[in-house]
Amino acid sequence: MIRFLTKMVAAAALVAVAAGGTALAQPAKPECLAGAKPGGGFDLTCRLAANALLATKQISQPMAVTYMEGGVGAVAYNHVIAKRAKDGNLITAASSGSALLIAQGKFGQYDENAVRWLGALGADYGVLVVNADSPYKTLKDLVEAYKADPSSFAIAGGGAVGSQDWMKASLLAKAAGQEPKKMHYAALEGGGAVLTALEGGHVQVGSGDAAEMVKHHVAGKVRILAVMAPQRLTGALADVPTAHEQGFDIDWPIWRGYYVGKDVSDADFDWWVKAFEAASKTPEFAKEREERGLFEFTMIGKPFDERVKADVARFKQLAKDAGM
């Protein structure tokens, strides 16, 4: 009798899975790993998933957020691969910066194929910005001036040579027909330092992100010349044209996403995919994303896996073109 009941329960479970049910794969102890100290971009990314999944009832208990700093995500990447490759409870925060570092070999021996890329739930976008008193009113003005005399331009970014801000600046140099490796680039500690240098007249151009620059643009302290997005952003930046609108093929989305271990089961992976898809369609999720200064960028499952791998390939080519 007991054996019969056991078979009945197993059969019912198979029927539920075949009908599209995912309750059996729901993580018992959902966790998001942020590969940095609390308060940064990885933390923000984990909090977005944790709050949105709970608010939309995709998970029945709060998601723990844990931290593992080192190498801008490299230590966490190696930890997941070596120690938690099968852990279906765990998702780990990533960004387009992660893809850039992988492309440059800064995540150690592992490449983009060492994990399963789950999805992105939001994005920021690169911007080029000048002082409010700058004579350059459009991206075309800036490109022409840089082309005429690149040595007179100091460009500041919140990261070292090879970082996302450096790469965005290199796209300005390329648009002007100049060699990126010859840029007069000032590597500063974050977007706040870039804004201070711009407002103080110490640099002529800032390379940064829309979310960190928008308030200063609205306040009239700096002027965003172009957004590196496929179409205009909404809200406070609706008046700022994209680089594409101004005739330049420049894109730089800074997606915020997640990966899981390479050996996580298909059932667990599919549960996360469906949970992300369901949550992303709700007003509760849209509110959580907006509160974190992110713009719409939802890409889940196979399309996201393809996007990450395409980004890594693109970044490798950008680095090669830049002479790195």
Per-residue pLDDT at 312 exceeds 90:
yes
pLDDT in tens, 194-207: 999 998 999 999 99
Q: How does DSSP classify residue 145?
A: H
Give yes or no for a contact between 36 and 42, defined as CB atoms under 8 angstroms apart: yes
pLDDT value at residue 8? 42
**Averaged pLDDT for residues 271-287:** 97
pLDDT value at residue 19? 38
pLDDT in tens, 50-86: 999 999 999 999 999 999 999 889 999 999 999 999 9
**Averaged pLDDT for residues 95-120:** 95
Q: How many CA atoms lie within 13 A of 171 on its CB side?
A: 26
Per-residue pLDDT at 13 exceeds 60:
no
Hey, what are 34's tokens? 């942020």
Per-residue pLDDT at 152 exceeds 50:
yes
Polymer length of the chain? 324
Ordered by where they begin, the domains of the chain are 29-123+253-321 (3.40.190.150), 125-237 (3.40.190.10)
pLDDT value at residue 7? 43
> What contacts 212, CB < 8 A, 6 or more positions away?
191, 192, 195
CA gap 56, 54 in Å, rounded: 5
Per-residue pLDDT at 18 exceeds 90:
no
CA gap 186, 208 in Å, rounded: 13
**Averaged pLDDT for residues 122-149:** 95
Distances in Å between the Cα of 80 and the Cα atoms of 42, 73, 95, 232, 268 are: 15, 11, 16, 37, 16
Per-residue pLDDT at 17 exceeds 80:
no
274: left (phi over 0), alpha (psi -120 to 50) or beta: alpha
Per-residue pLDDT at 9 exceeds 70:
no
Hey, what are 168's tokens? 């965005």
pLDDT value at residue 20? 39
Give the largest CA-CA distance in the chain: 87
255: left (phi over 0), alpha (psi -120 to 50) or beta: beta
Angle at 64 between CA 63 and CA 69, to 5 degrees: 135
pLDDT value at residue 240? 96
